[in-house]
Every structure is written in C-alpha cells, then in structure tokens.
Copies of this chain bind each other. A is one copy, B any other.
Amino acid sequence: MQMNLKIVLVEPLYQGNVGSVARAMKNFGFFDLVLVNPCRLEVEARAMSSHAWDLLENATVVSSLSDAIADSSIVIGTSGVSGSKFDEHLRVPAFSPREVKESLSGIDGNVAVLFGREDQGFNREELRLCDMIMTIPTSEVYPIMNLSHAVAVVLYEMSGMTTGELPLADAFDVRLLHTHFAEVLDDINYPEHKKEKTKLMLKRIFGRACLLEREVQTLRGIMRRIQKNLR
C-alpha cells in the first residue's frame, strides 16, 4: 500500500502553480491535497492541472495550518533555504528527499509534506509546527525552485514508498508527549530563555526519529515517573 501522504500548500499565491501541483501529484499516485488559505482557483488552475482537475476539485481547503495537520503523525516542511546562518533550531538539520524517504521506510501512519508560499516560504510559527525539515539539494547560483517543480521532485522520490508494519504514533499522542516534556521543563525550573529553543530541538529530534506508538507510550511513562519523583 502506498504511504498515506498528503501535500499541504500554505497560502499559495498563483493558481497555475496549484493546478500544476495537482497534476504532479496524480502523476506519482498521490491524491490528498490540502490548501491553507489559497489564492482563487479558476480557469488557469484547472488548465494547468490537466487531467488532474478531479484532484483539484477534491482538495480540502482550510484556514489554518494547524487544521491541515491535525491528524498528521509526522509533519515535514519543505524549505528552499538551507538557513545555516540563522534560525538554527528552526531549519537545521535539513534532510534531502531521499533521506526523508529512508526515515519513513517501514512505518505506517499519516504524513504531511508542507510547501510554503512562492515568495516567502514559511514564517517562524509555521516552521515550529514541523517535525522535520526537508531541502531539495539545488545549485547555490539559483536555489529557488518553482513550487510545482519542488512538489514533483519530492513526490518522484516518495513514490513507490509502501506502508510498513510499524505504526507511527498518533498525532494526538505525540502532542501529549510534547506537552508532557514542557511540563517537566517547568517542574525543573529550566531557564525561561532557553525553553522555546529546547522544546523545538526536542520536536526536531523526535520528528526525525519518526516515533512509533509504543515509543511514545514509553517516553510518556518516563515523563510521568520523573514528575512523580519531583513532586
């Protein structure tokens, strides 16, 4: 069975790109498209989607990224910026599509791959919601890819990836784990100015680990035990 993967476009600006994304998805056998506050989709979107207009018509439109990824165990943000100079915890480490594919092999669960605005990409809040950051290796001379090209390259890599045996943790349980960690940081009087960065780092670590259901339960068990002993 093909991996349960959805494509989320965050505030796409150009309807032609949205149509082209739908076409690339159908080319590689992916059908679940979610649009967060998209531009108007009219004749050009449909023309560019070609024989994938059904996919475009069935796309889910939502008004916030949180809604788009509510049921996703793993949220992967695609960033064109390597960002080695800034936002270290936000964008680093960035994985290639092939590395992401390898991380996901053998598991079963809901995966969301996010693509940002054509001009600005993601804002910091959106990056915070990502478990993993993926960057397509491009030339330094001109690294900014067309949105639908980026989707095509990612799905080319992801296609043929089959569902494995190991169930990914539910999105809900992963959120509970992070809440739990945040509580422990409070309990141990972790320095306030480091909290946000540390929480983000934990999100990145657990994100790229693609936590399984039983692993999340075990980690939450440890957190509970720590809290109990602290009190």
A138 close to B51 (CB less than 8 A): no
Q: Using Cβ atoms and an 8 Å threshold, which residues of chain B touch A48?
A: 146
Nearest CB of B to A221, in Å: 42
Q: Using Cβ atoms and an 8 Å threshold, which residues of chain B touch A145?
A: 23-24, 27, 152
Nearest CB of B to A186, in Å: 44
By beta carbon, the residue of chain B nearest A138 is: B27
Q: Is A52 an interface residue (CB 8 A)?
A: yes
Interface residues of A in 194-224 (CB under 8 A from B): none
Copies of this chain, whole number: 2
A141 close to B24 (CB less than 8 A): no
Interface string of A127-146 (1 = CB under 8 A from B): 00000000011110111111
Q: Is A148 an interface residue (CB 8 A)?
A: yes
B139 close to A26 (CB less than 8 A): yes
Nearest CB of B to A115, in Å: 14
> Residues on A close to B: CB < 8 A?
20, 23-24, 26-29, 48, 50-52, 136-139, 141-146, 148-149, 152-153, 156, 159-160
Besides A29-B141, A50-B146, 16 more A-B contacts (Cβ < 8 Å) are A20-B146, A20-B149, A23-B145, A23-B149, A24-B146, A26-B139, A26-B142, A27-B138, A27-B139, A50-B144, A52-B142, A137-B156, A137-B159, A138-B159, A152-B152, A156-B156
